Amino acid sequence: MSPKTLYDKIWDAHVADEADDGTCLLYIDRHLVHEVTSPQAFEGLRMTGRTVRAPDKTIAVPDHNVPTTAGREDPAQMTEESRIQVDALDSNAKEFGIHYYPMNDVRQGIVHIVGPEQGWTLPGMTVVCGDSHTATHGAFGALAHGIGTSEVEHVLATQTLIQKKSKNMKVEITGKLMPGVTAKDITLAVIGETGTAGGTGYVIEYCGEAIRDLSMEGRMTVCNMAIEGGARAGLIAPDEKTFAYVKGRPHAPKAGQWEAALEWWKTLYTDEGAHFDKVVTLKGEDIQPVVTWGTSPEDVLPITGVVPSPEDFTGGKVEAARRSIEYMGLTPGQKLTDIQIDTVFIGSCTNGRIEDFRAVAEIVKGKKIKEGMRAMIVPGSGLVRAQAEEEGLADIFKEAGFEWRLAGCSMCLAMNPDQLSEGERCAATSNRNFEGRQGYKGRTHLVSPAMAAAAAITGHLTDIREML
């Protein structure tokens, strides 16, 4: 048998039908659903008299619209449109009998944080959601990717997707990371290397010592942004860390089935000699703490750098860079560490987990945020919030001057009341720095949680290594 990649193995285990031209029906093990991209899909089912084929494999949670301030049960906290979307999810979950974590449930949170936390996401699974950051679940060695609403409807009705296989790409991070360098810096550095279209048509497998050394939280951060590099999905082979994370979670395999599951999971790795269509290798030691200067996640530079000139680029990127620099209100040649910050946002499906908050607490403990700074920390789930409170992190944040919020997507995409105003400049731990992403004419610099914490203290983009 010819050697297979991890992607090949998961793919092969889920093909329910294959046509002569290679078009497959890929069986979906877990379908995650949120309120923004699902109402039209449920409506489609109703209009055609169809139903949800596998409600037990379908999990819904509202996250994009929900307010993150206390007393959010009060309907006045949401705009009418937001409320309609959340109410629609409530009633669709009931009508179709799918698993549901409503807004007032302590387990509610960002769908990509809730899935792994509740043990819905397991190695070797296929996981989809009407959300591009579904790639997050690849950290478990699950084939996970975002889909559009028509495909959401397709999965609801048939529990399959019409797919053709992507190509295999290997991203290897060798050696060790230097102090102050995190999973976020890895994933941004990779996009800086490949560009936002570099992964188009591929499923990426991240490997190498620096990836192995990451916690599950760190691995989720890396896979989360695979989509920002254009890849369909990111994968990391499961190992003892994965199994330890999964064990005992509410929907993980129970005693009688655990051993059988483990046996299969241990076969989920890329065979020696398996073929990759593209290979990218970075040395862990070479990766520095990075920030984005522009309006595309590929606009990445080490924090020690300066704002580039449009002339530094070629082709269509010249005009794009000119537009970005103007939008961001920057001057070519300006030191990145001289960029003053108005707001710090720590949270999102990229960096809203407990480990991210521990890293922040380490930096801000006993310090105060810069005067006039608006700084908020938004847990990825109610359970992350509870744990951070139990560990005393929340007290550290509040004493430093951070707002300590309830769980949701919040200012990552600003569909709820958490938004930037025109010209407001934010150091954010989220995943996209697109124009208007965090609010109309808002300006976003993507950074790691530690770098965001440092900026909150100093008031400008800061090299975290100077604070260690």
Stretch that binds another protein, among 49-57, 300-308, 332-340, 453-461 (CB under 8 A): 49-57
Q: Which of 264, 329, 399, 466 binds another protein (CB under 8 A)?
A: 264
In angstroms, the CA 458 to CA 438 distance is: 22
* Per-residue CA distances from 414 to 30, 306, 348, 410 (Å): 27, 28, 11, 6
Q: Which ranges constitute the DSSP H helices of 61-142?
A: 80-96, 111-117
Q: Which H or E run includes 146?
A: strand 143-146
Neighbouring residues of 21: CB distance < 8 A, sequence distance ≥ 6: none
- Minimum separation from the CB atom of position 446 to another protein (A): 13
Tell me, by CB under 8 A, how many residues bind another protein.
81
Tell me whether residue 232 or residue 445 sits nearer to another protein (CB atom): 232
CA 419-422-425 angle, 5° bins: 75
Q: Which of 147, 222, 291, 446 binds another protein (CB under 8 A)?
A: 147
Chain positions 177 to 216 lying near another protein, rule: CB under 8 A, are: 196-197, 200-201
Would you count residue 315 as binding another protein (CB under 8 A)? yes
E strands, 191-321, are 202-207, 233-235, 278-283, 290-292, 300-302
Tell me whether residue 106 or residue 197 sits nearer to another protein (CB atom): 197
Q: Which of 32, 59, 60, 122 binds another protein (CB under 8 A)?
A: 122
Tell me whether residue 122 or residue 211 sits nearer to another protein (CB atom): 122
Would you count residue 317 as binding another protein (CB under 8 A)? yes
Nearest to 85 by CA among 42, 53, 45: 42
Stretch that binds another protein, among 104-112, 148-156, 181-189, 360-368 (CB under 8 A): 148-156
Chain positions 50 to 89 lying near another protein, rule: CB under 8 A, are: 50, 53, 57, 64-65, 79, 81-82, 84-85, 88
Chain positions 353 to 412 lying near another protein, rule: CB under 8 A, are: none
Chain positions 417 to 446 lying near another protein, rule: CB under 8 A, are: 432, 434-437, 440
Could you tell me the end-to-end alpha-carbon distance of the chain, in angstroms, rounded to an integer? 50
Give residue for tokens 């620099």: 325
Would you count residue 149 as binding another protein (CB under 8 A)? yes
Q: Are 61 and 114 in contact (CB under 8 A)?
A: yes
Would you count residue 19 as binding another protein (CB under 8 A)? yes
Tell me whether residue 63 or residue 355 sits nearer to another protein (CB atom): 63
Q: What is the DSSP letter of 184?
A: H
Stretch that binds another protein, among 8-16, 283-291, 350-358, 361-369 (CB under 8 A): 8-16
Q: What is the DSSP letter of 460?
A: B
By CB atoms closer than 10 A (0-12, 13-18, 19+), residue 300 is buried
Chain positions 240 to 259 lying near another protein, rule: CB under 8 A, are: 253-254, 257-258
Q: Which of 5, 9, 11, 27 binds another protein (CB under 8 A)?
A: 27
Would you count residue 323 as binding another protein (CB under 8 A)? yes
Q: Which of 70, 162, 244, 279 binds another protein (CB under 8 A)?
A: 162
Nearest to 452 by CA among 425, 424, 419, 429: 429
